[in-house]
Structure 1
Amino acid sequence: MIEFRPNAPKWRQIADILKERIADGTYQVDTPLPSEHELVQEFGVARGTARKVLTKLKEEGVAYSERGLGTFVAPPKNPGD
């Protein structure tokens, strides 16, 4: 578990950690991100918080889901898109 900052929502802090991991190559394009269950275990948060993390990453275009398979790292967007 990590020590969360009190001035930012937990889901945002976890999303930022996952984005850092994508940037440093821990998670590469088209590879799976941790599941809701794995996020709950690693960060000690509620399942709803873990779900919000993955939802927000998808909304930001950082991730995409494949039904029944999980959530994956999205390819980087082109600057003109």
Structure 2
Amino acid sequence: MRLFLSAIVALPVCVMLSACDGEAVKTVDYYSDHMDEAIHVLKACQSDASTELKQNCRHAREARDAHNKQTAEMDTGARVDWE
């Protein structure tokens, strides 16, 4: 019984600690509304290969790609590059 109670307490704590890397995950919609921040995140992702697969990198990339696709469809030439 004691082991069972320890597992019930330890499991949520382990999940919470492994999910937190000190950085809040922002959505694609957030980055779409804050393109400057998306570009900043993408630059950080490029300079640190270990962050390449993190959710913020993916979300910022998706927001940038959607922006560029929409811009291309409008043919305004306002493409956002991050390099």
Fold-level similarity (TM above 0.5) = no
Higher Cα Rg: structure 1 or 2?
A: 2
Greater helix fraction, Structure 1 or Structure 2:
2
Q: Which has the higher strand share?
A: 1
Task: Report the TM-score, using the length of structure 2 for normalisation.
Answer: 0.30
